Amino acid sequence: MLFEGERQLVQWLVWAWMAMAGLAFVALLVRTAPYGRFSRPGWGPTVPARIGWAVMESPGLWGMAILFALGEHRSPAAWAFVGLWGLHSVHRVILYPVRMRPGHRLAASVMLMGVGFHVVNAYLQGRWIFQFGPVRGAGWLADPRFLAGTAMFLGGFAVNVHADNMLRRLRRRSEDTYAIPRGGLFRWVSCPNYLGEIIEWIGWTVLTWSPAGLAFAVWTVANLLPRAISTHKWYRRTFPDYPPHRKALLPGLL
Ligand code: NDP
């Protein structure tokens, strides 16, 4: 009874959260989020991008750690969930910003919107998976959904990190300007890092078999599909010799 009100809140919020992703998707098709190559004035004061990224993404690390500690699910599967989530979060919150080039800026307003997003998202993942969702016992570790989802999650993570590393090396060579990325999955798409990220969170949905996971995957598509389309158009506008057969996000398709 203690958590009954909160259980209902989480069940309601997870579907509302997915509906909001639909609205964000439409908005982001119209206006690209103002960071990175699409930064523009009018979004208020800025902070160093490294600090901005670390702060923005940090609820995924501390929020999930707190919710795991508070939650009642302690099966081997719950440990596997928190381990996989932790792998992504330690990379995104600590390693990714540390390896960014100094000197770049991020609007504080964008950072704060990102914090808001990650607080709600971590809350939904953590409460559903470690408290209100079905208890996944040790047997879940041999379930085909867990195995297939984990393969997708780790494969997507590897694609994302590899593509981000290629972009970082490119930036080092091109002296702080943008250049055409070549090789790896860039042969086929402009944004393999986004493709990897989307595969990763679809994998999370499958391995946790949860509506909370699905909501995060839907949000990831809502954020990254419009941005991949904008980035692809930007490459085409900026570089006349941009490889003509390369797609935005999905090899051969889109
Ligand atoms: P980008 O691909 O726009 O940029 C990644 C890094 O590479 C940035 O430091 C960028 O510099 C640099 N870069 C990009 N293109 C080039 C180029 N052609 N030449 C030289 N340097 C380049 O990714 P985002 O910044 O949008 O996202 C960063 C990470 O965060 C990605 O892994 C993404 O998947 C993830 N993400 C996840 C979201 C989710 O909803 N789950 C939402 C948003 C991001 P600069 O910053 O100067 O442009």
Closest-CA residue to 137 (of 81, 212, 179, 98): 81
Q: Identify the pLDDT of residue 101.
A: 84
Residue 172 pLDDT? 78
Is residue 35 within 8 A of residue 53, CB to CB? The reply is no
Q: What pTM, to 2 d.p., does this model score?
A: 0.97
Fill in the DSSP letter of residue 189. Answer: B
Any ligand 1 atom below 6 A from CB of 215? no
pLDDT at 204 over 70: yes
CB 185 within 8 A of CB 226: no
Q: Strand (E) positions, the chain?
A: 46-48, 105-107
Residue 171 CA: nearest ligand 1 atom is 20
Does residue 209 register a pLDDT over 80? yes
What average pLDDT does the segment 27-49 reach? 97
Closest CA to 219 of 12, 20, 59, 71: 20
58 contact partners, CB below 8 Å, separation of at least 6: 93, 115, 118
Task: Give me the residue label for tokens 């809350």.
Answer: 123
CB-count burial class (<10 Å; 0-12, 13-18, 19+) for 16: exposed
Contact 165, 100 (CB under 8 A): no
Please write the tens of the pLDDT for every residue from 91-111. 999 999 999 988 899 999 999
Report the C-alpha gap between 13 and 3 in whole angstroms: 15
What local confidence, expressed as pLDDT, does residue 87 receive?
98
Single-letter amino acid code for the residue at 35:
Y
Q: Measuring CA to CA, which residue among 138, 165, 128, 164 is closest to residue 14?
A: 128
**87 Cβ neighbours under 8 A, 6+ residues apart:** 157
Give distance in angstroms: CA of 152 to centre of ligand 1.
21
Q: What is the pLDDT of residue 118?
A: 98
Q: Which of the pair, 225 or 176, is modelled with greater confidence? A: 225
Please provide the average confidence, as pLDDT, over all residues in the chain: 96
pLDDT tens per residue across span 121-137: 999 999 999 999 999 99
The answer to whether the CB of 156 falls within 8 A of the CB of 197 is yes
Q: pLDDT tens for residues 139-174?
A: 999 999 999 999 999 999 999 999 999 999 998 776
**194 CB within 6 A, ligand 1:** yes
Dump pLDDT digits (tens) for 56-101.
999 999 999 999 999 999 999 999 999 999 999 999 999 999 999 8
Is ligand 1 within 6 A of the CB of residue 171? yes
Q: What is the pLDDT of residue 34?
A: 97
Cα pseudo-dihedral 205, 207, 209, 211, rounded to 10: -30
Structure confidence at residue 102 (pLDDT): 85
